[in-house]
Amino acid sequence: MAPSNNQYDIVIVGAGPVGILLSLCMSRWGYKVKHIDNRPVPTATGRADGIQPRSTEILRNLGLKRQIMAYAPAKVYDVAFWDPTPSGDGIQRTGSWPSCPRFIDTRYPFTTLVHQGKIERVFIDEIEKAGTTVERPWTITGFNNDGADKDYPVEVQLKCIDTNVIETVRTKYLYSGEGARSFVRQQLNIPIHHKDPIAYVWGVMDGVVRTNFPDIETKCTIHSDAGSIMVIPREDNMVRLYVQIASSSDADWNPRKTATAEEVQATAKKILSPYWVEWDRVEWYSVYPIGQGISERYTLDERVFMGGDACHTHSPKAGQGMNTAFHDALNMAWKLHAVETGLADRSTLSTYESERKDIAETLLSFDAKYAALFSKRRPTAGEVGEASHTTVKAGGEEDEFVATFKSSCEFTSGYGVAYKPNIFNWDATHPAQSSLFGVPGLKLKVGRAFTPSTVTRLADSNFVHLEQEVPANGAFRIFIFAGKQANTKKAISDFAANLEKERSFLSVHRRADIADVSFFERHQPHSKLFTLCLVYAEQKNKVDVDSVPKILRDYHHHIYADDIPDVRVPQAQHAAHEKLGFDVEKGGVVVTRPDSHVAVSVQLTEGSGTVDALNAYFNSFSSKQVGQDAQQSRLVTDLRPQDTEDAPYYFTFKVQCTSCRETHPNWVSFHRFEQHEIPGSRGEANFVWKCKLCQKTHSASIIAGPHAYEADEKRKAKKVIELDCRGLEFTEFKPDGEWEARGTDSSSPFTGIDLAEGEWYDYDEKAGDEVSIKEITWTVGRA
């Protein structure tokens, strides 16, 4: 059902970096967006200005890189460090190194510097093309996830600052990109935790200068006896200066300390001495305090979310604010899209906070280390040179500074972002299991961005960047590295045949309008949630496209030859395969998330195994049933213990005393119909137990259940019983005794089910099919 006039898929508050990227994605992907900002006009000058390499890659994937580069921004390839001379009569350069060293595989080994206002303009133009307008000056005055409308559960009150007009809307999601003083965060009563006790007050100035300082067009960190300063070149002959005005480590620390532009200029002149500097004009100047803070939560209900500076604040030294906001927004956008399209269960939205907060924690730890590195210990020129090129010393142990440099450069570039295992990022503990998960020798790392690779697109013989071939359209990318065509012909044929099965991930999420899809649709001919790319380890003229199965030929602009050399693997005949770690004889499959981070890899084999593994992966979070194995698991439902007063079920546990933490070595059993007196006239309980170590008596009673496990498409954990435990905890459950269930479609009863071995098999005569219970796990947890 289409939303009414006051109903929105998402309300976004704030039009800074996090808000505009989220708004653009959601608008382009077909959602109704309400986007407000409390400023009357977009940023005119100042604010964030550094776009790191990985962010440039994201902007290109969004189709925005060309517009931003049209501003002729400054590009920082090197960072220079200046310190006091030994004689104390000025400053000297003590080293310089690449902003993005060679060990980071990127197409953009530089930081792009252009002020935030110009970046906002590019985004806002594209947002408007997608049908959304940023409404100004509007602010949020209240919100409540009251659930009054199950489809649009969040009520939001908005007010126009100019006219005081009040508007109340309903939305599926509310997102705060308001900045550090977030109203939404304050209303949710979510605290900010400050990671580093030291805070700073910075003066920031953009202007056009005349100077004989030799590194004025290079990013510099300068320390002198007169203070510290950071120099950042800008577009239009401008330079940005960050001058530290105060620190909480100062004896006269005042977080509200300020300074005039003239005072900051005078300080800069002293720091740069013996070099001179004069200002032709000052375009923007501001003084603001900075502390390293992180929000305790990013959401409380997975309906109201926050991102960007509303969640994390840090120093400007590493230029991470806008870049981290971009990652927050993209992470949020594709996960909302996955849920709203039915690809993912709503529970997966919890991964937004877990992934992005973990990265913010890493950022703050890095920021503190970065500040200490450049404020307390100056690297020598020798260390500088070694860090730029060396990996490990001859003795096998990496120098501490070199290691710090490398890890920090990777992180600041954006390529160090590594998401931990979860439902989207496969590892050995993932619910989806197959012997084919994990391609042997693969160099791509789950949770990290896909490595740049150049191949030939067969449709037009163009050399293309594989990681950019699928635009940011909310779809998972399935890269099939097919190796030698003659060797993998049967495997590719089987892969295609299994994709066409009714319950494959591609078929389950087939486009509703597939009959009307244009012949010219490049990326999503079958499903709006997946794009398939096929890469052969062949020269372009050696690939027999006619023998490629039709379902893969439908992606005719995504069939490639791996025949372009790569300087990083100079001896490779098929550089993309070999650089990424695929065997050119066997190939393999890698899935990347819509944000280009690697999700899972699967071996390419003959038969159904490869697609079965992919089905299992997508079924683990899909809101719709995927795969044949999962379908069979639904053939029985209403699983429960056989439990009557005449023949009770004995629940069997390991028990631990909460007073002395002693775990009883033997299993204990009890049923819900028995009652035992608790010593001391404290009533009765199903289970009364005296700890042999501390001699205290404890009890437990079943207060709800047993509940039936109703099979659904998600195989989620469900409660069997609920217990009231007093002084003890049950730590482990053993399913001794008999269980019962019924056929999902046939309603055939099954009794005497034994789950002691973790699985059960039988035959449903009425349905004419085998039934089974497999991969069952038990968890004892607190409510």
The predicted-structure confidence for 276-303, as pLDDT tens digits, reads as follows 999 999 998 988 776 678 999 999 999 9
Question: Where is the domain boundary, 233, 267, 290?
Answer: 290
Q: Phi, psi at residue 703, to the nearest 5°?
A: -105, -10
- Per the structure, the complete domain to which residue 539 belongs is given by 454-629
Output the pLDDT for position 384. Answer: 47
CA distance 424 to 382: 43
User: Which residue in the block uniquely carries the two structure tokens 């280009």?
Assistant: 596
Q: Where does the pLDDT of residue 392 fall: very low under 50, low under 70, confident under 90, or very high at 90 and above?
A: very low
Output the pLDDT for position 388. Answer: 53
723 located within any domain: yes
Angle 733-738-742 from CA coordinates, rounded to 5°: 110
Say if CB 176 and CB 300 are below 8 A apart.
no
335 located within any domain: yes
Say if CB 221 and CB 374 are below 8 A apart.
yes
CATH number at residue 151: 3.50.50.60
| pLDDT over 70, % of the chain | 90
Residues 559 and 480 both lie in one domain: yes
Output the pLDDT for position 682. Answer: 81
Is the predicted pLDDT of residue 399 greater than 50, yes or no?
no
Q: Where does the pLDDT of residue 641 fall: very low under 50, low under 70, confident under 90, or very high at 90 and above?
A: very high
For range 156-185, the mean pLDDT:
96
Is the predicted pLDDT of residue 195 greater than 60, yes or no?
yes
Is the predicted pLDDT of residue 535 greater than 80, yes or no?
yes
Q: Phi, psi at residue 418, to the nearest 5°?
A: -130, 110
Residues 236 and 261 both lie in one domain: yes
91 located within any domain: no
Q: What is the pLDDT of residues 99-151, one digit of tens each?
A: 888 889 999 999 999 888 899 999 999 999 999 999 999 999 999 999 999 99
Q: Where does the pLDDT of residue 781 fall: very low under 50, low under 70, confident under 90, or very high at 90 and above?
A: confident
448 located within any domain: no
CA distance 154 to 174: 7
78 located within any domain: no
Residues 559 and 670 both lie in one domain: no
Output the pLDDT for position 199. Answer: 67
Residues 685 and 651 both lie in one domain: yes
Q: What is the pLDDT of residues 457-469, one digit of tens each?
A: 999 999 999 999 9
In this structure, of 194-203, 283-292, 630-639, 769-778, the range with the lowest mean pLDDT score is 630-639
Q: How many domains does the chain fold into? A: 5
For range 36-49, the mean pLDDT:
82
Output the pLDDT for position 106. Answer: 96
Closest to 453 (Cα-Cα) out of 468, 465, 439, 442 = 465
Q: What is the pLDDT of residues 222-270, one digit of tens each?
A: 888 888 888 999 888 899 998 877 776 777 767 667 889 999 999 999 9
Exposure string over 392-404, b if 16+ CB within 10 A, otherwise e: eeeeeeeeebbeb
User: Which residue in the block uniquely carries the two structure tokens 């380890």?
Assistant: 537
Residues 462 and 352 both lie in one domain: no
134 located within any domain: yes
For residue 290, give the amino acid letter. I
Question: Where is the domain boundary, 338, 365, 392?
Answer: 365
CATH number at residue 529: 3.40.30.20
Residues 617 and 761 both lie in one domain: no
For range 581-592, the mean pLDDT:
98
Residues 608 and 714 both lie in one domain: no
Token duo for residue 595: 């944000």
Is the predicted pLDDT of residue 584 greater than 70, yes or no?
yes
Residues 496 and 523 both lie in one domain: yes
732 located within any domain: yes
| pLDDT over 90, % of the chain | 67
Say if CB 598 and CB 470 are below 8 A apart.
no
Is the predicted pLDDT of residue 386 greater than 80, yes or no?
no
CA distance 195 to 182: 19
204 located within any domain: yes
Is the predicted pLDDT of residue 546 greater than 50, yes or no?
yes
CA atoms within 13 A on the CB side of 564: 17
Residues 322 and 177 both lie in one domain: yes
Is the predicted pLDDT of residue 202 greater than 70, yes or no?
yes
Residues 35 and 183 both lie in one domain: yes
Say if CB 714 and CB 642 are below 8 A apart.
no
Residues 651 and 727 both lie in one domain: yes
User: Which residue in the block uniquely carries the two structure tokens 């990265």?
Assistant: 359
DSSP 427: -
CA distance 636 to 649: 20
CA distance 170 to 373: 49
Q: Phi, psi at residue 17, to the nearest 5°?
A: -55, -45
Closest to 143 (Cα-Cα) out of 373, 313, 352, 304 = 304
Residues 172 and 24 both lie in one domain: yes
Q: What is the pLDDT of residues 291-349, one digit of tens each?
A: 678 999 999 999 999 999 999 877 665 567 889 999 999 999 999 999 999 999 999 99
Cα separation values, 515 from 512, 519, 532, 624, Å: 8, 11, 19, 22
In this structure, of 15-24, 192-201, 418-427, 770-779, the range with the lowest mean pLDDT score is 192-201
Quote the mean pLDDT of the chain. 89
In this structure, of 33-47, 79-93, 193-207, 512-526, the range with the lowest mean pLDDT score is 193-207
Output the pLDDT for position 1. Answer: 55
Q: What is the pLDDT of residues 417-434, one digit of tens each?
A: 999 999 999 999 999 999
